[in-house]
């Protein structure tokens, strides 16, 4: 059987799996589980493969699940990955498949990622006698919350046999039928900083007798923006955002303490190190000016997602000839983080985005929004591109 005939046959079989994909996605959506707590989701995934007769490993690096599909002829081992954890967000959608778990929802599409990969794996297994090489199906827990599930799964051997890896993210703000790819850095390193300011409190009527922690913190928040504008090469990208500023005092009391928590994002490791150093330099300078003291911590999260050139070109070429794909676009780098980065530090591969915007513009919301939803037809597009990239890599 020719590769084009095989791909056409697999796409037709994926079409027949669409209703099951939707059923699975909605089940996951109604029954979300937070990072590192995904007992029922992992059990569902394992049960799915057990019923098919696919060899699996469970509790990989924690709650991860691996499935193994052997082709009938020798060839490279292709890994495909999807994540399955949810977020601590209250689902605000008025739909029949809304989350049934208070304060927890799939607000980033991981339910769709998992449903997509289950369908791809099922069809690959049903066609294993026509395929070359090996497929390693990686169902990863805990992507949303650092340190994440990728590193412990890798440490537990999920990539031991892999020659290449492909993964996708359903992207709810891009139109259906769109595939976005990029060689090199495509998602940013995502770090967290915490600044605790210790001043001297006092009465609101006597500021001259105090070291106002709120004033000091406010100056730090403003001064941090000068790092990106004046310390980082303008050809490179970086973001520093303060997301939390807490000083719990009555209205008429000047705070003696304040805590700032924020994130720093970058693509280049040198820029990443610069941000870590310069943030403390700003904090120290402002605190010294006010004779205040501080504690500073900088926690490195996921590194930047850096796609490999040949594998990205391969993915893009397959996407251009895949049924249901209308636009294949070179993506702008995204400042969001992803622990898929760790896989790409160990094996070659690429991570791409699949357009999944709902048909009704009123229902298009950004990721991590309480009304987040996807166009479920995007799962079929993602499945065909992933399967096409995997089987054609074996035949290349």
What amino acid positions are annotated as catalytic residues?
A: 85, 143
For 157, which DSSP code? Answer: T
The answer to whether the CB of 3 falls within 8 A of the CB of 72 is no
Question: Is the Cα dihedral 356, 360, 363, 364 positive or negative?
Answer: positive
* Cβ-proximal residues to 156 (8 Å cutoff; 6+ apart), any chain: 60, 61, 64
Strand ranges, E, within 313-395: 327-330, 348-355
Pairwise CA distance, residues 367 & 170, whole Å: 10
Distances (CA, A) of 114 to 39, 157, 174, 291: 15, 20, 20, 53
The answer to whether the CB of 221 falls within 8 A of the CB of 258 is no
For 209, which DSSP code? Answer: G
The Cβ of residue 82 has, within 10 Å, a number of other Cβ atoms equal to: 28
The answer to whether the CB of 258 falls within 8 A of the CB of 213 is yes
The answer to whether the CB of 46 falls within 8 A of the CB of 132 is no
Report the interhelical angle of 309-320 vs 377-395 (nearest 10°): 120
Pairwise CA distance, residues 169 & 265, whole Å: 19
Q: Which residue has the tokens 């002829």?
A: 73
The Cβ of residue 107 has, within 10 Å, a number of other Cβ atoms equal to: 29
- CA nearest 118: which of 168, 80, 163, 78? 80
The Cβ of residue 319 has, within 10 Å, a number of other Cβ atoms equal to: 24
CA-atom Rg of the chain in angstroms: 24
* Cβ-proximal residues to 388 (8 Å cutoff; 6+ apart), any chain: 7, 10, 11, 318, 319, 321, 322
Token readout for 231 is 């310390």
- Return the half-sphere exposure (C-beta side, CA atoms, 13 A cut-off) of residue 88: 5
């Amino acid at each position: 059987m020719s590769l084009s005939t095989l791909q056409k046959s697999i796409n037709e079989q994926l079409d027949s799996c669409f209703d099951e994909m939707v059923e699975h996605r909605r089940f996951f959506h109604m029954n979300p589980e937070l990072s590192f707590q995904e007992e029922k989701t992992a059990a569902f995934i394992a049960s799915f493969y057990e019923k098919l007769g696919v060899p699996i490993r469970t509790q990989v690096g924690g709650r991860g699940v691996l499935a193994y599909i052997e082709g009938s002829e020798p060839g490279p081992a292709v890994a495909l990955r999807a994540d399955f954890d949810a977020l601590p967000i209250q689902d605000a959608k008025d739909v029949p498949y809304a989350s049934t778990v208070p304060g927890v929802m799939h607000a980033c599409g991981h339910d769709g990622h998992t449903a997509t990969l289950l369908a791809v794996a099922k069809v690959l297994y049903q066609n294993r006698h026509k395929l070359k090489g090996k497929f390693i199906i990686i169902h990863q827990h805990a992507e949303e919350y650092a340190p994440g599930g990728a590193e412990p799964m890798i440490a537990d051997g999920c990539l031991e046999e892999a020659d290449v890896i492909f993964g996708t993210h359903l992207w709810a703000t891009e139109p259906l039928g769109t595939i976005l790819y990029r060689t090199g850095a495509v998602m940013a390193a995502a770090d967290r900083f915490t600044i605790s300011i210790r001043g001297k409190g006092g009465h609101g009527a006597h500021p001259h007798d105090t070291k106002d922690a709120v004033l000091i913190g406010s100056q730090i928040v403003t001064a941090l923006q000068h790092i990106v504008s004046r310390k980082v090469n303008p050809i490179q990208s970086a973001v520093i955002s303060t997301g939390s500023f807490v000083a719990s005092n009555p209205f008429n009391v000047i705070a003696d303490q304040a805590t700032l928590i924020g994130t720093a994002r970058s693509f280049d490791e040198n820029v990443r190190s610069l941000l870590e150093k310069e943030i403390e330099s700003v904090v120290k300078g402002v605190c010294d000016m006010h004779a205040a003291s501080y504690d500073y911590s900088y926690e490195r999260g996921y590194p930047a997602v850096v796609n490999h050139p040949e594998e990205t070109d391969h993915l893009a070429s397959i996407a251009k000839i895949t049924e249901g794909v209308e636009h294949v676009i070179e993506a702008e780098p995204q400042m969001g983080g992803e622990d898929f980065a760790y896989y790409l530090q160990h094996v070659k591969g690429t991570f791409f985005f699949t357009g999944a915007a709902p048909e009704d513009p009123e229902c298009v919301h950004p990721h991590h929004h309480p009304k987040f939803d996807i166009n479920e037809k995007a799962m079929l597009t993602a499945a065909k591109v992933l399967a096409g990239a995997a089987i054609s890599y074996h035949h290349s």
